[in-house]
Structure 1
Amino acid sequence: MAIKEGLRPGGRSARVQESVHSAVRELLEAHERSSITVPMIAAHAGVTPSTIYRRWGDLSVLLADVALARLRPDSEPADTGSLRGDLQAWAEQYLDEMSTDVGRNMMRDVQSSVTPGYCVSILGGQLQAIVDRYPQETAPSVDRLINLLAAPTVFRILFSAQPLAVEELHALIELALKN
C-alpha cells in the first residue's frame, strides 16, 4: 500500500497525523522497534487503532511515513561558500544521521513501503539546491552525486558492519568533482 498523499493541510486530518507521528517517534525512543504495535501507537496518540489502519493500512506503512517525514529537509542544505564545502557538509550530515540505529531503521522502513525513486527525488532536490548555488562552477550532475556520495553511504550503512569513514566520503567527493 502506498503512503496516502494529498490530504488537506490543517484540520482534523493534520492533527491526527501529527499526534500519530509524535506517538511513533516517542515510542521508538522508549521501546525496541519490534515491540511497537498499532494498538500501542493508537493509545499513545489518543486515537483508535482503526484510525491508523484506515489512514496507513499497516504498521510498516506508518513507520515509513514517519521516516519520510524525518527525511524531508526542514531547510536548505548548509551554505559554506563553496561547492566542495557544501557537498562535504551535506554528505557528513547525511552519513552522521543515517548511521544511527534510528537512521538505519528509517531507511529500512522507507525502502519497504515507498514508491521507488521517492528517496532519490528527496536527496536529488537537496543536491540540486547545492549545485544551483554555484552556476559559475562546472559541477557534477545530481545523478553523479547520488551515485558517488549517497549510494555508497546507504550501502555501507545497511550492508556493512561499519559505515563509510568520513575520509572515504571526502575522497568520493573529490572523485565526484573531477570531470
Structure 2
Amino acid sequence: MAIKEGIRTGGRSARVQQSVHSAVRALLQEQDRASLTVPMVAARAGVTPSTIYRRWGELAALLADVAVERLHPDSEPLDTGTLRGDLLAWAEQYLDEMSSEPGRHMMRDVLSSACPGYCTTLLRGQLQTLLDRAQQRGEAGPGVERLLDLLVAPTVFRILFAEAPPSLQQLHELVELALRD
C-alpha cells in the first residue's frame, strides 16, 4: 500500500494525520517497534483503527509515512561557497542522520513500504539545490543521478547492509569520485 498522495491539506484530514503521526512517534519512544500495533496507535491518536487502515492500509505504510515526514529538510542545505564543500557538508549530515538508530529504522520502514521512490524524490531535490547553487556560482558539477549512484547509494548500502557505515574518509572519497569528470 503506497502512501496516498492528494489528501487535502488542513481540516480534519490534517488533524488526523498529525494526531496519528504524533501517536506513532510517542509510542516508538516508549516501546519497541516490534510491539507496535494499529489499535495501539489508534487509541493513542483518538481515532478508530479503521481510520488508520483506510488512510494507510497497513502499519508498515504508516511507519513509512512518519519516516518520510522526518526526511523533509528543515532548511536549505548548508552553503559553504563551493560545490565540494556543500556536498561534503550535506553528505556528512546525511550520514550522521541516517546511520543513527532512528535513521536506520526510518530507512527500513520506507524500504518495506510501497513508497521508497518518494525518498529518492526528496534526495533529488536536496542535491539539485546544491547543483543549482553551484551553477549560479559558475561551477560545473555532475548530474543528480551521478550523485545518487556514486554518493547516496553506497552510503545507504553500507549503513543498512555492511558491518559499519562508511567512515568520514570513505564518505569524502565518495564525494571526490562523484565530482570527477
Q: CA deviation at 1:48?
A: 1.3
Residue of structure 2 in register with 1:37 after alignment = 37
* Separation of aligned partners in 2, 1:114 and 1:23: 22
Residue of structure 1 in register with 2:56 after alignment = 56
Q: CA deviation at 1:116?
A: 5.1
User: What secondary structure sits across from 2:134 in the alignment?
Assistant: coil
CA contact (8 A) 2:110 2:116 kept: no
Residue of structure 1 in register with 2:166 after alignment = 164
What pairs with 1:1-179 in structure 2 (closer than 5 Å)?
1-115=1-115, 117-135=117-135, 136-179=138-181
CA contact (8 A) 2:60 2:109 kept: yes
1:116–1:63: structure 2 CA closer, same or farther, 3 Å change rule? Answer: closer
Query: Structure 2 unaligned runs (5+)?
Result: none
* Separation of aligned partners in 2, 1:97 and 1:87: 15
Q: CA deviation at 1:114?
A: 3.0
Q: TM-score, normalised by structure 1?
A: 0.96
Q: TM-score, normalised by structure 2?
A: 0.95
Q: Cα deviation per residue 1:16-64 (whole Å; 9 max; x = unaligned)?
A: 0001001111111221110111111111111111111111111011001
Q: Cα deviation per residue 1:126-177 (whole Å; 9 max; x = unaligned)?
A: 0000010011111011111111111011001110121111110011111111
Query: Structure 1 unaligned runs (5+)?
Result: none
Q: CA deviation at 1:79?
A: 1.1
User: How much identity, in percent, do the aligned residues show?
Assistant: 68
Q: CA deviation at 1:117?
A: 2.9
Cα RMSD for the two superposed structures: 1.1
